[in-house]
Structure 1
Amino acid sequence: MDPFLRAQIILLCDLCKTAHLQSHCERCDINLCQTCVGKHLSDSSIRHKVVPYKHRKSFNYSKCPDHADELCKNYCEKCDVPVCLTCASSSKHEGHDISDILEKRSSKTGSLQTDLEEFESRIYPRYEEMASDVQTEKIELETNYGKLTTAADQQGEVLHGEITAIVNRRKSDIQEMKNKHLSILNKNTDEITQKITELKQIISDLKSILKSNDVSLTSTYKSRNPEFRTLPPKVRVTLPSFSAQKMNKDQLNEMFGSLSQLSINSEHDDTMKSAEAVSSPPVQPLLDEARVTDTIDTGYKTLYSVSCLSEYQVWARGNNDIMKLINHQSKPLTLIPTKSGNWPSDITVTRDGDLVYTDPGNKTINLVKNKEIQTSIILHGWESRNVCSTASNDLLVTMISDDYKQSKVVRYSGSTDTQTIQFDDQGRPLYSSDYSYKYISENKNLDICVADYTARAVVVVNQSGKLRFRYTGHPSNTEDSFDPVGITTDSQSHILTADHNNNRIHILDQDGQFLRYISNLRAPFGLCVDIRDNLFVAECYTAKVKKIQYL
């Protein structure tokens, strides 16, 4: 019996109209006999997909609303709708770009897959991370507020029965703040959880569309990824502090001590990014003695640069061509080799969370996005050295001329250079002219800070490039030379620079006044600060990153 005989109807080849069909081209949606397959495939301008007829994939075309007997097998690019052949030829779509709907499906399928991958690999994990952060803060809330309650109890014991009423009032204030704090965190959790639920539904819908053969659904799909790249506000609450006063029976209420106000600041990202600026941050005094809170082993022999992706993950650059994303447990999460095989000169993380590295060997500046390397800037006559990302998502790059006679800082917006900083008001070079390190950072007040190793100075200019000051080390220190390498700034506009050979970090205010050392380090090199003002220090010869609390 003829295998293609169905209810006495013989299915014939759509080309020759005489031979029994054997195959089906899914790309062109036509049936072919064995003889006509070769002829059909000879048109190399189209990527045909010929399969055995019984294995063909059926597509669900929508019916044309204006021509009931026709299916919408074309797509109007201008009107952004599926159309039938008659509609495509009508005056309604005259002059419009008409494409094959299967081509549109193919291109949209790729977009769907990309969106799904971004949701699953980047956006959804960030929401989960935010939810985890809030949960951790809620857990720590009991301990932190417990310390306040204990402090109030201890002060109450000193003042005995005369201040019992005051103690109770202060406890009530603490409880009220605690409840308000907890309420805010619960609200933040609810907002994030709601978004996560919505994300799960979107991901499920995307998977369903990808599995279905409904070309109308696929071709009319509108991406919602941009909507969810804007993360919910991240609530920043500064814990109140307790200020005890000496006992004075006549002024017990005032002298007992007071609680600072509960400071609440909602911090909103415009996109997913590695470092966010908090407007008008609360003043955070320097600790008398900084403390190491974590140590990350990078696995390099020597370590030169570190850049924060989050308070738990950092990018590192060492003595080879591999850049590593490492978590706080010293686990490498991502390994990115340079495109050229050269060692990168420096790395930074943009506000979008993407890695940027400089490659002086081939005079390029490169962006790593979704693990793909894009060469965004090619230099001519200059070699890139160090780089930082700014609050406006520009790049600031230090560079040296090919003859090693000139140095400058260049600002890039995308791949366009928008500013060059090279000379002071008297036409003198701002920076030393050699191949040495010139790490760079933008301060909160938009000053541009360069650690010029050869000049043994931190050179600070304002946003316009005008010299503000040079810091050449603590004035009282005449024995040790100042050897600045890595440099970073924090939310308080402090400038922190690694004094490599003296095993310490100098902390300056925004006007270049020395404030304090962070000592007990081993050859500190690269520096970065995360959103919570944790300092990450790359120790060159131990190849470890130390996370330090200094505020």
Structure 2
Amino acid sequence: MSDVTQIPEMLHPQRSAQDVLLCDLCETVPLESNCELCNVNFCKACVREHLSDSSKKHNVVSYLHRKSPSYPKCAKHADKHGELYCEKCDIPVCSTCVSKKHRGHNLCGVLEKFASKTEMLQKDLKELESRIYPRYEKMASDVQIEKSELQTNYGELTTAADQQGEVLHQKITAIVNRRKSNIEEVKKKHLAALDKNTDKITQRITELRKIIEDLKKILNTKDVSLTSTYKSRNGEFRQLPPKVRVTLPSLSPSNINKDQLNKMVGSLSSLSITSEKHGYTMKSPEAASSPPVKPLLDEPRLTATIKTRYERLFSVSCLTDEQVWTRGHNKIMKLLNLRGKLLTSIQTKTGIGLRDITVTRDGDLVYTDDNNKTVNLVKNTQIQIVITLRGWEPLNVCSTSSDDLLVIMISNDRKQSKVVRYSGFTETQTIQFDDKGRPLYSFESYPKYISENRNMDICVADREVNAVVVVNQSGKLRFRYTGHSSNTEETFDPIGITTDSQSHILTADSYNHCIHILDQDGQFLRYIHNCDLHRPWGLSVDIRDNLFVAEWDTARVKKIQYR
């Protein structure tokens, strides 16, 4: 027997009930509590330190009242527990499995894996309860609201069709009445020609009767003197007066086919049903966000004018159909309602360099700063830099239907320009050249407002080259629009650009004081040149397809109904 007293080794509490149970953190003081989330044991003094990690929802209980997780059965050996976890195969394994099939694989304790999985479950539960489920509820509510508005909206379409039919009926009636009046005039001319001819014939008949009567008298009197002086006029009357021939006019109605009639009545654009990425929501077979299809108005209507109190106004971006963010000549961005009331104002981080603004699908404001070469997110009035460029200067920006950001930028040396897509503020796409390697966009730092169409085309108003440049979602050039041959006095001057629910492209023609409306293939449809527009600059369309126009020199935003 050795005379040295052996001190028993302190083992893990799971291995022996007789071992001293020490705190897993300090490893010196006996434990008292257990965190069921992290599966960690600790003493009274270490509880506070463990709970200081607020990123997890800890559940600390007395060690004696803890819920001990049960080990899973090994899938291969029913009489053994899976005390280890194979990261490669993603399954619990027992010691026998480790020595046979899982040699060399990354292994960890199954309780350690249980703790990390429990943490993941808590995070998933928190996200489901606080973010995902409320969005589903809101989407369901939005669909119900839109369904309740269907009768009214489609009733307006039916009324518009009736009104168009009445307009056509009135025009056709007016044309028919004019045609009847023309027929009456022609009839009078015809009758006058016949009357004139009748007068000539009647005059000759009178003369003939007089000659016949005179001849009978001469023959009855047998007067030698009268007979000897008689001169015959028969030759004169053998030449009958000309007969007036008038050809009756005819009415030749045009052959009107169904296509012509449909065109006169007006066209109904097709119902567009799409699915959109919507934050955390999943794609759906139906779309509930597009407003009812309405035709373009012949005379757009000005429905509101907002005084921004800037000296110069450059950008407008809709938050709702009654609230808009604006960017003017200074470092302040303003959120205004339709009456011009200031709701919120945000000052840029640098105080200078504010270039453009857009609103994300979540309603957050984003702005570009060409002074410090950044793209910035404003969330609950707090500004955070989300993108920092190197060697490039951001110009204009837009938020897409999938909540990506499209930023058009130029190089610091003014020799290159490009459009970059950011998903989650990570660069995912660059658009710079056409199929022949030629630059798509000019290199000047003039405004290059940008918008994404509903068909995923990317539309840029490139003022330097007087063109709207449109590429598809993969970056391939679709077309360039360089203006419409019309009576505009100045060269086409595209500045602001936006798109609506029917994939119309709207661009501000600043020097000509109007808006061009194009279809998705670049075909000119019509102007918006009334509403007292003056130097239109930035454009934005809300979810109901109301157009908001930022006027550069009046510093006013005009809300226009054009559909």
CA–CA separation in structure 1 for the residues paired with 2:322 and 2:542: 9
Paired amino acid for 1:495 = I
Per-residue CA shift, 1:388-409, capped at 9, x if unaligned? 0011110001101101111111
Per-residue CA shift, 1:27-46, capped at 9, x if unaligned? xxxxxxxxxxxxxxxxxxxx
SS at match of 1:225: helix
**Bigger strand share:** 1
SS at match of 1:436: coil
SS at match of 2:32: helix
Q: 1:272 to 1:291 in 2, by over 3 A?
A: farther
Asked whether 1:365 is paired with 2:375, we answer yes
Q: In 2, are the aligned partners of 1:272 and 1:351 still within 8 Å (CA)? A: no
1:495 is matched with which residue? 505
Give the alignment partner of residue 517 of structure 1, picking from 527, 531, 534: 527
Q: 1:550 to 1:75 in 2, by over 3 A?
A: farther
CA–CA separation in structure 2 for the residues paired with 1:313 and 1:92: 47
Superposition deviation, residue 299 in structure 1: 1.5
Matches within 5 A, 1:49-60: none
Matches within 5 A, 1:39-438: 85-88=31-34, 93-94=39-40, 100=47, 104=51, 107=54, 224-226=129-131, 227-230=133-136, 231-232=138-139, 233-234=141-142, 235-236=145-146, 237=150, 238-240=153-155, 241-242=158-159, 243-244=161-162, 270=278, 278=288, 282-438=292-448
Asked whether 1:532 is paired with 2:544, we answer yes
Q: 1:97 to 1:469 in 2, by over 3 A?
A: farther
CA–CA separation in structure 2 for the residues paired with 1:515 and 1:410: 30
Superposition deviation, residue 328 in structure 1: 1.3
2:456 is matched with which residue? 446
Asked whether 1:472 is paired with 2:479, we answer no
Q: 1:268 to 1:515 in 2, by over 3 A?
A: closer
Q: 1:264 to 1:451 in 2, by over 3 A?
A: closer
Q: 1:331 to 1:473 in 2, by over 3 A?
A: same
Instruction: Report how many aligned residue pairs link the two structures.
Output: 346
**Is there any run of 5+ residues in structure 2 with no aligned partner, and where?**
1-22, 58-124, 170-264
1:485 is matched with which residue? 495
Q: 1:459 to 1:102 in 2, by over 3 A?
A: same
Q: 1:366 to 1:105 in 2, by over 3 A?
A: same
CA–CA separation in structure 2 for the residues paired with 1:475 and 1:102: 75
CA–CA separation in structure 2 for the residues paired with 1:382 and 1:457: 23
SS at match of 1:426: coil
Paired amino acid for 1:474 = H
CA–CA separation in structure 1 for the residues paired with 2:437 and 2:289: 36
Deviates more, 1:264-273 or 1:393-402: 264-273
Superposition deviation, residue 415 in structure 1: 2.1
CA–CA separation in structure 2 for the residues paired with 1:453 and 1:329: 31
CA–CA separation in structure 2 for the residues paired with 1:106 and 1:442: 42
Q: In 2, are the aligned partners of 1:319 and 1:343 still within 8 Å (CA)? A: no
2:553 is matched with which residue? 541
Q: TM-score, normalised by structure 1?
A: 0.57
CA RMSD of the aligned region, Å? 3.7
CA–CA separation in structure 1 for the residues paired with 2:498 and 2:37: 63
CA–CA separation in structure 2 for the residues paired with 1:89 and 1:489: 54
CA–CA separation in structure 1 for the residues paired with 2:455 and 2:328: 31
Paired amino acid for 1:86 = E
Q: In 1, are the aligned partners of 2:357 and 2:396 still within 8 Å (CA)? A: yes
CA–CA separation in structure 1 for the residues paired with 2:43 and 2:440: 56
Q: 1:105 to 1:542 in 2, by over 3 A?
A: same
SS at match of 1:403: coil
Matches within 5 A, 1:7-22: none
SS at match of 1:396: strand
Q: 1:386 to 1:91 in 2, by over 3 A?
A: closer
Query: Which has the higher Rg, Structure 1 or Structure 2?
Result: 2
1:12 is matched with which residue? none
CA–CA separation in structure 1 for the residues paired with 2:347 and 2:459: 29
1:126 is matched with which residue? none
Q: In 1, are the aligned partners of 2:291 and 2:545 still within 8 Å (CA)? A: no
Q: 1:91 to 1:294 in 2, by over 3 A?
A: closer
CA–CA separation in structure 2 for the residues paired with 1:421 and 1:268: 23
CA–CA separation in structure 2 for the residues paired with 1:496 and 1:540: 17
**How high is the sequence identity, in percent, across the aligned residues?**
59
**Is there any run of 5+ residues in structure 1 with no aligned partner, and where?**
1-73, 77-83, 111-220, 248-256
Q: In 1, are the aligned partners of 2:508 and 2:537 still within 8 Å (CA)? A: yes
Q: 1:362 to 1:284 in 2, by over 3 A?
A: same
Superposition deviation, residue 312 in structure 1: 0.8
Q: 1:338 to 1:370 in 2, by over 3 A?
A: same
Superposition deviation, residue 425 in structure 1: 0.6
Per-residue CA shift, 1:198-232, capped at 9, x if unaligned? xxxxxxxxxxxxxxxxxxxxxxx968431334524
Q: In 1, are the aligned partners of 2:447 and 2:463 still within 8 Å (CA)? A: yes
Q: In 1, are the aligned partners of 2:277 and 2:403 still within 8 Å (CA)? A: no
Superposition deviation, residue 239 in structure 1: 3.0
CA–CA separation in structure 2 for the residues paired with 1:323 and 1:103: 43
Paired amino acid for 2:360 = T
Paired amino acid for 1:436 = Y
